[in-house]
Amino acid sequence: MELKINGKIHNVDVEDGMPLLWVLRDELNMTGTKYGCGVSSCGACTVMIDGEATRTCTLPASTAAGKDIRTIEGVAQGGQLSAVQKAWIEHQVPQCGYCQSGQIMVAEALLDSNPTPTDEDIDKAMTNICRCGTYQRVRAAIHTAAKWRAEQTTLPG
Amino acid sequence: MSEIRDNNHKKEKKGMGKWTRRAFIATGVLGGGLVIAGVAGNMYLNNAITKYSGEGMGDGESLNAWVRIAPDNTITLAVPRSEMGQGVYTSIPMLLAEELEVDMNSIKVIHPQPESPYANTAFLDPNPRKAYASYSVMQKVSAFLPVVGTGGSTSVKDLYDHLRGMGATAREMLIKAAADKWGVKPEDCYAESAYVINKSTKEKMSYGSLAEAAAKVELSENPPLKEQKDFKVIGKRVQRLDIPEKVTGAAQFGIDARPEGMVIAAIRHASTVGGTVNGISNEEEVLQMRGVKKVVLLDDGIGAAVIADNTWRAKNAAMALDLEEEANTLEKVSSTDISNMLNEVIENNLFAPTEAHGNVSEALSNAEGAVVEAAYEVPYLSQCTMEPLNCTLVINEGSAEAWVGHQGGSLVRDAINAVTGTPKDKIKVNITYLGGGFGRRAELDFVKKAAMVGKQMMGTPVQLVFTREEDMKNGMYRPAVASKFRGAVGADGMINAWEHKMALQSVGYSSMMRIMPAMADSPENDPQSSEGAVELPYAFKNNSVAFGELDLPAMQVGNWRSVGASQNGFFTESFMDEMAHAAGQDPYEFRKKHMEQSDLPDADRYLGVLNKVASMANWSTPLPAGKSRGIAILKSFGSIVGQVAEITKLGEKQIKVDKVYCVIDCGRIVNPDTVEAQMQSGIIYGLSAALFGEITMTNGQIDQQNFPQYEMVRMQTSPTVEVHIMEVDEYPGGVGEPATPPAAPAVANAVFAATGERVRSLPLIKHGYTFV
C-alpha cells in the first residue's frame, strides 16, 4: 500500500489490518510515534491524518492510504521547530518524554482547528495519559503556543 | 574541602566519611584486596580512572571518569544515572559545570558503561534509615559491590559533593597546564566558559588545547569548592538538556532501539500469577503466521515468546499460542483472601515494634476520653510506566550488547551474565532514555527474559516487548497493605497514645531476592516497610509502631515511586487527621502543636514546611461554600513535603480536585524548575493511585488488563499544583519521590472535610466517588 507521510510517499507491503503505528515504527523505522496501550486509550500513538489527531495503535494502516499523514517527525519544518514545540521547551514540559509526541500532535491539531482554546477546550481535546503528570505545563504551553501562533512573531531560539 | 561540606559531613554523614568510602569502592573490592585508599591530592581521581574504559566518551582527553575534553573544546560529561523524567541528565551536568567553569549549553551528555567509578554509594548510606545496621560481615562486604543504579531519589544526594569535586579538580588541572605554558603561577589564571585566562595579559587558551597537558597534571591537594553565594549554575533555573530531542520524536527510548537485523519477540506468561508455561500445543500452526521466525519456551517455565519481523505480527502470534500451563499456589487466591491474610498477620504475627516510647497499652486502657480505632487498607498498585517493558539485546559467542531503559546498568550486565554466561567485561550495556521508571525498571525480569530469548537467537539482535497487558498482569506491584490504629487524646489536647500495626509483604526482601539475593535481609529488617510510619515529627507521649510480614512469595512485590512511604503516609496522615477531629481541633493547628513539642532534630524544618503550606493555602480563611481542604506532611528520601489539597464537592459523591499547594524542604536546591516539576509529577502520581489505582486478583489472575481498567489522572482531572521550595542551607535531599506520599492523605482529608466520610481504603472510586 501507498502511504503519504510528512509529504513523502512510502510503499509498504503489509497486511490490511496492520495498525498504522506498527507500519511507522517497524516497517519505516519512524520511532517518534509511541506504543503505549494498543487499545486507543492513552494516545501515545497519536498522529495527524488529514489534519485530525488520530490514535494509530488500532487504526488499520490501509484506512490511511491516500490521506495526508503527519507524524512528530514532520512537525518541525526545514529545521524550524513549530510554535507548539517551542512552547513545550519554553515551559519545560517533558519529563520522561515518552508520551510527548502524542501530546504534541493533539496540541497541533487542536490549535489548527481552534486557535484560541479555553481551558475547557483543552480538557476536552487533551485526553492523552502522561504518567509523569505534566498536564499543568502542557496546558500552559498550549496557551503560549496559541499566543505565538496568533502574533506570528519571530519565535524564540 | 570547604567548610560547608565538612559541616554537612558532620550533620548528614555520620560514620564513614564519604570520600573514603568512595575510594574504597573504586579501588578495593574489585581489585581483590580490601585496600582503603587515601584521598590526598587527586589520587582518588586517578584510581577511579584506572577502572574506567572511557567507552562512548568521544575524542579527546579524560581528566577523570566524568569529564572528557576534545580538541575542538567539546565537553563530554558522563552521566551514569538513568534519565527517567527526573531531570538527571541536567542536574548532574550542573554539578560538574559549576566547578568546571563550562556553559551548560556546550555540554554533551553521554551515558557511560556501568563501571565502578560510577557506583551509587547513596544506596549504602545508613542515614536516615538504619538500612545496614543488622547486616552480617559478609553481607556488608557484598553491599560494597559497586552498583551503578538510579533510584531512591539518590542521584543528587549521592553526587552533590563528589561531582563538584570532580569538576573542580579537572578545572585546576587545566589551569595548572595553562600556567605552565605561560610560565606563570596557577593563581595568576582563572577559568571561564571552557577557557583558561591569564589575569594580567588576558590571553586565553581553550580547554581543548590544554586537555592533553592537563591530563598529566598531578595536583597535591583537592581544590576547595565554591561557596553557595558564588554559584552560577547550581540553584538557577536551567533548561533541561534532554528536552529539545523530546519534542521532535528524536529521543531514543529502549523500545526505539533498531540495531541492524533486529527481530521482535513478544512474550506470553501464564495466565495465573506465578504460573508456569510448560509447553505449546500449536507451535506448527503459529510458525505459519506471516513474519513469524521462531517460537521459544523460556527457561524454567517462565513463559513463551514468538519471534517475528514486526511487533504487531509477533504480538498476534503470541496471542495465538496455545500454552500448556500449570498454575501455582495462587490459583485459588483472590484479593479478598489476601485482605483476610493481612488482617490475620496484624492480629497474630507482628514483629517486635520498630518504634516504641512509653507504654502505649497502659495509656490506651487508662484513656480519659474515647479510644479512636481505625482500620486502613490499600491495594496492590502497578507502576505503569508509559513505555511498556522491553529490552533489546544481541548475544554473540563470547560477547553481548544490550539497549535498554533500565535503572541499573550494572544490574543489567550482571543479569545477562547470569543467564548467558557471557563474561561481564564483554557485555556492553547501552542505557537509553526510560519511558518512566518508578521502580519497575529497577527489576531484572524483562532483561533476563530477553537474554533467555537472545541465547536462542545467537547473533541476531532481539527486542523483547511486553504488551501493555503482559506488563500490567506481570507486575512487581506495590504491596497491598492493611493497617490498624488505636489512639487516645489526653486532657491537655495532645495525643497520649498512638498504636499502629501494619501487615504487608516486604518490598526489600522480595526485590532483593530477585536482584541481589546475597544482599536480601529478612523482612523483619526491611526499613521500607515502616518508612513514613516511624520517626514522625509529632510528640506522642506513648507510641508503638509494629509491622508483620505476609508470606506470599508467589505474588511478587517491588518498588513503586516512594515505596513504603506511599502507603504509610496515607495511613499516618489520615489518622493524624482523625485524632485532630477526635480532639476537636483544627488539623493544621493540631499538627503544629505536636511538632512544636517533637524532639526530632529536624522538627523546626517540619514546622517551616507546615506553616508555609498553611499560609500559602490561606488555611485560616474559610473557603467558599462547596469547597474544602485537607492537609498532610511527610518526610521521605531526605526531604520534607507538605501539601494542602483543595477540592470542590459538585454532587453527593462527585469531586473536583482543584488545587494542591505544595511546599518542599529538600535542603540545597540544584535546579529549582526540576524540583517544581517533580513536585507536580509526584503529586499527580500519588493522586492517580488515590483516586483510581487498584490491582486486584481473582483466583490467581490479575483483573486489570490495560489502562481502561487502571485509570489515571488525565488533563481534565488534574489539579493545578503550586509549589514553594524552602531555602535551607543543608545537604540536598531527594526530589523524585517525596511529593507522592502526602497527595493521598491531603485529598482524603479534604474529602472528609467535604463529606464527613472518612475514607480508610483506596482508591476513592471504590467508595462511589467520581472525579471531574
Lowest mean pLDDT among A94-98, A131-135, B35-39, B563-567: B35-39
Percent of the residues in chain B that have a pLDDT greater than 70, as a whole number: 91
Interchain contact, A123 vs B716, CB within 8 Å = yes
Q: What is the CATH number of the domain that holds A56?
A: 3.10.20.30
| CATH topology classification for B335-381+477-771 | Aldehyde Oxidoreductase; domain 4 (3.30.365)
Distance CA(B120)–CA(B126), nearest Å, equals 13
- Quick one: pLDDT at residue B143? 44
CA–centroid distance for A131 within its chain: 17
Among A27, A35, A142, the strongest candidate for a mutation testing the B interface, having the largest count of B CBs within 10 A, is A35
pTM, entire model = 0.93
Reported as a single tens digit per residue, the pLDDT across A19-28 is 999 999 999 9
Q: Rounded to whole angstroms, how far apart are CA atoms B252 and A32?
A: 8
**Which of A40, A74, A108 is the last residue before a domain boundary?**
A74
**Mean pLDDT in residue range B706-716:** 98
Which of A16, A72, A110, A132 is the best mutation test for B, with the most CBs of B within 10 A? A132
Task: Determine, for residues B386 and A44 on separate chains, whether the beta-carbon distance falls below 8 Å.
Answer: yes
pLDDT digits (tens, 9 = 90+) for B180-221: 999 999 999 999 999 999 999 999 999 999 999 999 998 888
Query: Which of A55, A74, A93 is a domain's end point?
Result: A74
Cis peptide before B624 (omega within 30 of 0): no
Q: What is the pLDDT of residues B473-494, one digit of tens each?
A: 999 999 999 999 999 999 999 9
pLDDT of residue B52: 84
Give the model's pLDDT for residue B476.
97
Query: What does the pLDDT average to over B222-239?
Result: 95
Q: For position B44, what pLDDT does the model report? A: 46
* The pLDDT value given to residue B235: 97
Residues of B in contact with A129 (CB under 8 A): 386, 707, 712, 714
Q: pLDDT value at position B179?
A: 98
pLDDT at position B131: 34
For residue range B346-394, list pLDDT tens digits in order.
Answer: 999 999 999 999 999 999 999 988 999 999 999 999 999 999 999 999 9
Q: In the listed set A74, A105, A124, which residue is the last one of a domain according to the structure?
A: A74
DSSP state of B363: H
Residue B686 dihedral angles phi and psi, to the nearest 5°: -65, -40
> Which ipTM did the prediction report?
0.97
Per residue in B133-151, pLDDT (tens digit) is: 333 333 333 345 678 889 8
Could you tell me the residue ranges of all domains in chain B?
Answer: 3-246, 254-328+389-465, 335-381+477-771
The answer to whether the CB atoms of B243 and A94 lie below 8 A apart is yes
**Containing structural domain, residue A16:** 2-74
DSSP assignment, residue B201?
T
Q: Which tops the pLDDT comparison, B37 or B361? A: B361
Q: What is the pLDDT of residue B17?
A: 29
The answer to whether residues A66 and A92 belong to one domain is: no
Residues 6+ apart with CB under 8 A from B18: B9, B121, B161, B162
- pLDDT for position B24: 30
Q: Which residues of A touch B693 (CB under 8 A)?
A: none
A88 to chain B: nearest residue by CA?
Answer: B247
Q: Cα–Cα distance between B164 and B670 in angstroms, integer? A: 12
Just give the CATH number of B3-246: 3.30.365.10
Closest approach of chain A CAs to the CA of B466, in angstroms? Answer: 11
C-alpha cell at A65: 492510504
- Region B579-588: what's the mean pLDDT? 97
Question: What pLDDT score was predicted for residue B748?
Answer: 98
pLDDT tens digits, B77-132:
999 999 999 999 999 999 999 999 999 999 999 999 998 888 887 776 544 333 33
Collect all residues of chain A within an 8 Å Cβ-Cβ radius of residue B253: 34, 97-98
The pLDDT-based confidence of B516 (bands split at 50, 70, 90) is confident
What is the fold, at CATH topology level, of the domain defined by B254-328+389-465?
A: Aldehyde Oxidoreductase; domain 4 (3.30.365)
Q: Kindly tell me if the per-residue pLDDT of B7 is higher than 50.
A: no
Residue A157 within a domain: no
> pLDDT class for A156, splitting at 50, 70, 90?
low
Query: Hey, are the CB atoms on A34 and B388 less than 8 Å from each other?
Result: no
More confidently predicted of A154 and B523: B523
Strand ranges (DSSP E) for B274-345?
276-280, 292-297, 304-308, 323-326
Q: What is the pLDDT of residue B48?
A: 58
For residue A153, name the pLDDT band (cuts at 50, 70, 90): low
Question: How many structural domains are present in chain A?
Answer: 2
Q: Are residues A47 and A103 in the same domain?
A: no
- Let me know whether A10 and A65 are in one domain: yes
Is B243 in CB contact (< 8 Å) with chain A?
Answer: yes
Is position A65 within any domain? Answer: yes
